[in-house]
Structure 1
Amino acid sequence: MLQLNAADLQQHSLNQLNQPDTGTDSVLMLRDANYWMQEASQTPIPQMLFGKFWHQGEVCILFADSNLGKSILAVQIADAITKGTGQNPFDVEAPAQPVVYLDFELTDKQFEARYSQEYTNHYLFNQTFVRGKINPDIELPNGFNDFDEYLIHDLERSVIETNAKVFIIDNLTYLRNETEQAAGALPLMKQLKTLKNKYGLSILVLAHTPKRDLTQPITRNDLQGSKMLMNFCDSAFTIGESNADNNMRYLKQIKQRNTEQVYGDNNICLCRINKPDNFLHYQFVSFGEERLQLIRKKGERSEEELMARVADLKASGRSLREIGKELNITHQKADRMLKAYLG
C-alpha cells in the first residue's frame, strides 16, 4: 500500500493547491483526500471547553428538565472559560478568553442572588464575562420580518463588537417557540452553524426536555425537536436528577464528535449543587451508573435487595444459573453480585 510521509503529503497537496482554478466549484467542492488532510493539518486541534462534554468549534446542546440547574452549570462553564481553568473532570484546555452569555431566563436580581451572599459579598466575575439580556423596550426595526430574524442579526453584531469566540445561549425556546417542531428547529440550527463557521465560534445552547419516563435512561430522543437538533449540533450532553439522592444531579454525554463517549450509561458524572460562599455551582462527587439514579419500576428490586436475594438463594444450594433464571439476570451477573455482597 502506498504511504506518503509528511513531506510528500505536503508537496502533493501544494501541487493541488497550485493548480489553476477551473471554476467548477459550486455547492460541492471536490478535491482529493490528501488535499483535505493537508487543509486539516493547518488548523489547530480542538481544545476542551468543558471536559469531554464540549470542545472548541462545536455547536453543543445542554438539555434537561426544568429546575435541574442548567443555568447554574452554564454560568459555571462560562466563568471557567474566562479564567482558563476548570476542575477535573470538567477541565478547560483552551486559554482564558471572553464569553458572551445571553441570559433569557433570570432577572438581574435573581442572577445577583445566585452569585452573592444574601445580596452582599458579590462574586467577582472576570471582566471578559459578558452577560446579555433582551431589551424589553426595543421595537422591530425596518427590514426585519420578525423578532427571530432581528435577534440572529443582533447576535452576529455581538460577535463582531466583542470579538468573542464563545457564546452561551440560555435558552433555545426563547429564540424559537417551535423548537419541538422540525420547521422551527431546522432554520435556527442552520443559522447558528452558519455563524459558527463564519466566525470560528463555539456555541453552547441550553434546551428543555418534554415530560419523560423517569424509569428510563436519558437519550437523544428526550430533547425537544430531537431529530433535527441532534442532526445539526456537533455535541450534546444532559443533566439528570438522581432518585437515590434528590440533591444530586448527573451529567451524561449524548452526542460527541471530537472524542469518544466517556460519560455514558455506565460512567456518568455525579454532582451536587453547592454554594459554600457566593458562587452557586456544580461540585463533582464521583462517577456512577445511570441505572442506579433512575426511579425503579413497580416491583423492581434495588441493587442491594437483589444482591441479598442472590446470596440467600446461593446459601440454599442453588446454582448460579438457577439463580440467574429465577431473578431474570445472567449467571455472570449473579456471580458478580454474590462476590460484591460477600465482600
Structure 2
Amino acid sequence: MPPPPVVITGIFEGKLRPVALFQSPKNRPKMTQNHSAVRPDFIEKIRAEARGVTYRPAKRKKEVAPPPDPDECRYLFNVATGNRWMELGEREPTPQMLFGELWYQGELAILFADTNVGKSVLAVQIGNSIAEGKPIAAFALQAEPAKVLYIDFELGLMQFYTRYTNAQGSYSFTDRFIRAQFNPNTGLPGGDSNNDDHLIAGIEYRIQQLKATVLIIDNISCLRGGTESAHVALSLMKNFKALKNDYNLSILVLAHTPKRRNPGVPLSADDLHGSKLLMNFADSAFALGTSAADPHLRYLKQIKQRNTAQIYGEDNVCLCRITKPGDFLQMQFEGQSHEYLHLRTRLTNQQVLAPKVAQLAAAGYNQRQISNELGIAVGLVNKLMER
C-alpha cells in the first residue's frame, strides 16, 4: 500500500487549508511538459545509447537573416543621367583588337573546344602574338605589345618544350610572354593547394608581381574542382571579373565542349561544357571545331561578341590546321567557309566509317562483331561492306 500522505496546513486565500506534500501516483497531479525546451546533444546521445538505438541529431532550423537595410546599400549603384554617361563614355579609351574581332582589350573572353583539337596551341600563339606585337595572319592586332601571363594547367615542362623546339633549336620567346605552371606541393594550410580561392589568390599575386595586363588560363576545368554547379561557375566568373576590373586586365579562359557533343550540329553557346553562367558572364566567346570533311582541318567560329557585329558566324568560319613550319607549333589559317560543309552528315559519317569497316573485315571480323565494335547497326555494316 502507498504511504499515507503527510498533511500540513497552510494559508490560501486567507483561509487555513490542509495540503498533501506526498501523494500517491494515482492522486498526484499531472505535470505539463515543456516541449519548447531543447536538450543538449550529449544528453540526447546518452538517452539513445540507453535505449540501444542509433543517435541521429535533429535538424536545426536555419536562422533567417534579417533583410538588409536599404541605407547600408546606398553605394551599390552609380547613378547619373543618360547625358552624363555619354560624357563619361567619350573619355574612355576605345578598346583595341587583340585577336581580330574575336577578342578586344578589357574583355573576359572564352575559347572552347573538344579535347585534342588544338585550343592550347592557338592560345599560346595568341599570347605570343600579343607579347611580340605581331598580328596573326587574318586577325588584326591594334594594341601595343603587352606583358602576357599564361597560366598552364595542361602541359608539363617537356610537353611544352617539345612543341616549341626542333632539330635546329628552340623557339625564342619574348620576355613579355611569361608562362606559369601549377605547383601542387606548396604546403598551404591543410594541404588544400587545389582550392579555387587559393588558386585565384596565387594568380592575383603573380599579376601584381609581374604587372601583367593580359591573362590566359588553360583551362578553367582545372579551377572548378570537378563540379558543374551553377554556384561554382558563378563564383569563378565573379573572381575573374574582379581581377579584370581591379587590374585592368584582358582575360582569355580556355574551356571544353561536352564529350558526347553531336558533330552534326553547328557549334553554339550550348556547347560550352558545364554551367551556361560561364557564357553569360563572358564579354566574348569563340569556339574551335574539327571538320568532318578533313580530320586535320579545324575551323574557328565566333559565338558571342559585345564590341562588334558577328564577323565569323555560321556562314563565315575561319579554316585552319595545326602546322609546325619551324620550331613553333601553330595554327595556319586558310580562308573562310560555311560551317555546314564541315559538319558530320550521314554521307560524311559513312565516309569516316567505311575505312574502319574495311579494316576490321580484313582482320577477320564478321558483320555482327564489326557492328558491336563500332556501335553501328548491322545493316549499315553490310551496306558499307558492299560499297
- Bin of the TM-score, shorter chain as denominator length: 0.7 to 0.9
Counterpart contact for 1:102–1:132, Cα < 8 Å: yes
Seen in structure 2, the aligned counterparts of structure 1 residues 185 and 139 have a Cα distance that, compared at 3 Å, is same
Aligned to 1:176: 224
Q: Which is bigger in relative contact order (C-alpha 8 A, separation at least 6)?
A: 1
Matched, 1:164 2:212: yes
Structure 1 unpaired stretches of 5+: 1-22, 303-343
1:197 is aligned to 2:242: no
Give the superposition deviation at 1:301: 11
Distance 1:160 1:299 in 2: 50
Aligned residues: 280
- Superposed CA offset, 1:178-223 (max 9, x none): 4532122110001000110111110000000112100010110000
* Residue of 305, 310, 323 corresponding to 1:261: 310
TM-superposed deviation, 1:272: 1.4
Shift of 1:300: 9.6
- Deviation for aligned residue 1:86: 0.9
Unaligned ranges ≥5, structure 2: 1-71, 352-387
Output the CA distance in 2 between the equivalents of 1:45 and 1:85: 20
CA 154–145 in structure 1, closer or farther in 2 if over 3 Å, else same: closer
1:147 pairs with 2:195: yes
Post-superposition Cα deviations, 1:31-74, rounded to whole Å, max 9, x if no partner, equal 10111111121111111111111000011000000000010000
Q: Distance in 2 between matches of 1:74 and 1:145?
A: 25
Q: 1:288 is matched with which residue: 320, 325, 337?
A: 337
Contact 1:178 1:185 in 2 (8 A): no
After superposition, the Cα gap between the structure-2 partners of 1:25 and 1:85, relative to the gap in structure 1 and judged at 3 Å, is: farther
Q: Distance in 2 between matches of 1:147 and 1:139?
A: 13
Structure 2 counterpart of 1:96, from 145, 151, 155: 145
Name the TM-score, length of structure 2 as normaliser. 0.69
Conservation of the 8 A alpha-carbon contact between 1:178 and 1:184: no
How many angstroms apart in 1 are the aligned matches of 2:293 and 2:192?
A: 50
Q: Is the 8 A contact 2:184 2:193 kept in 1?
A: no
Q: Identify the match of residue 274 of structure 2 among 208, 215, 225.
A: 225
Q: Structure 1 residue 143: deviation in Å?
A: 12
CA distance in 1, matches of 2:300, 2:165: 25
How many angstroms does 1:92 deviate by?
A: 1.2
Asked if the contact 2:186–2:193 (Cα under 8 Å) also holds between the matched residues in 1, the reply is no
> Which of the pair has more CA radius of gyration?
2
Aligned residue type for 2:224? R
RMSD of aligned alpha carbons: 2.3
1:123 corresponds in structure 2 to 171
- Are 1:42 and 2:91 matched, yes or no? yes
Alpha-carbon displacement from aligned partner over 1:216-265 (angstroms, at most 9, x marks no partner) = 10110000124211111100000000111111100000000011100000
Q: 1:276 aligns with which of 310, 322, 325?
A: 325
Question: How far has the Cα of 1:87 moved from its partner?
Answer: 2.9
Amino acid at match of 2:99: F
Give distance in 2, aligned partners of 1:49 and 1:259.
13
Aligned residue among 160, 166, 175 for 1:111:
160
* Cα pair distance change 1:300/1:272, threshold 3 Å: closer
Identity in percent: 48
